[in-house]
Amino acid sequence: MGMIDISEARDRDLVRRVRDRDEDAFRGLFARYAPTAKALAQRVVRQSHLAEEIVQEAFMAVWRNPDAYDDARGSVRSWLMGMVHHRAVDLVRREEAYRRRAEDSIPEAMQDQVDHADEVVERVALPEERRTVREALDELPDEQRDVLEMMYFDGLSQSQIAGKTGLPLGTVKSRTLLGMRRMRAALEGTER
């Protein structure tokens, strides 16, 4: 084994102490590398809260299994950053697969439906109609009502809602579609 610098020797000592369940050593390792790890994760997943979760998962893996570190394979820093990077890439792949499955589950005919927002606006011009729409909206499941309110009352796009809520875009689209169908059915039922 070649010469290792003082910093790496300190890191290896921290890992050795973590193996002995030394919480101060774990906190020291976390304080030293968590900011860099979060920056790496955020570059991959592009969302701060997800990056924080990835870093927490990686460091919990260190606490649960510090013996996974093998000093013959590289530095403590590269081991930690490798774990963070792998977790971040896995998360992006899972989210992409989930989005594709969600989009594939929506029949093609439904994906091309026209936005009926203008029709809804015309129909709610009178106070009585507004009350009817509000009642129909209140009957929706919370997750569908929240998405529709953000779209039509806050003026957010589906992409903006996904970013604001942390939901996959496919989930936002599905909730919008299901909510609009229920609203349409409820409003058509009151017109008879």
Right CATH for 108-191 from 1.10.10.10, 1.20.1740.10, 3.90.1170.50, 3.30.450.20: 1.10.10.10
Q: What is the pLDDT of residue 78?
A: 93
Please, where in the chain does CATH 1.10.1740.10 lie? 6-104
Task: Give residue-wise pLDDT tens across range 18-40.
Answer: 999 999 999 999 999 999 999 99
Please, where in the chain does CATH 1.10.10.10 lie? 108-191
- The percentage of the chain sitting over the pLDDT mark of 70, rounded to a whole number, equals 84
Q: What is the pLDDT of residue 156?
A: 84
Q: Residue 120 pLDDT more than 80? A: no
Tell me phi and psi for residue 191, to 5 degrees: -85, -15
Q: Categorize the per-residue pLDDT at 87 as very low, low, confident or very high, splitting at 50, 70 and 90.
A: very high
Closest alpha carbon to 177 in 105, 113, 108, 98: 113
pTM of the model: 0.53
CATH fold of the domain at 6-104: Rna Polymerase Sigma Factor; Chain: A (1.10.1740)
Q: Categorize the per-residue pLDDT at 126 as very low, low, confident or very high, splitting at 50, 70 and 90.
A: low
CA angle 85, 91, 96 (to 5 degrees): 130
Q: What is the pLDDT of residue 51?
A: 93
Q: What is the mean pLDDT of the segment spanning 67-92?
A: 93
Q: Residue 112 pLDDT more than 60? A: no
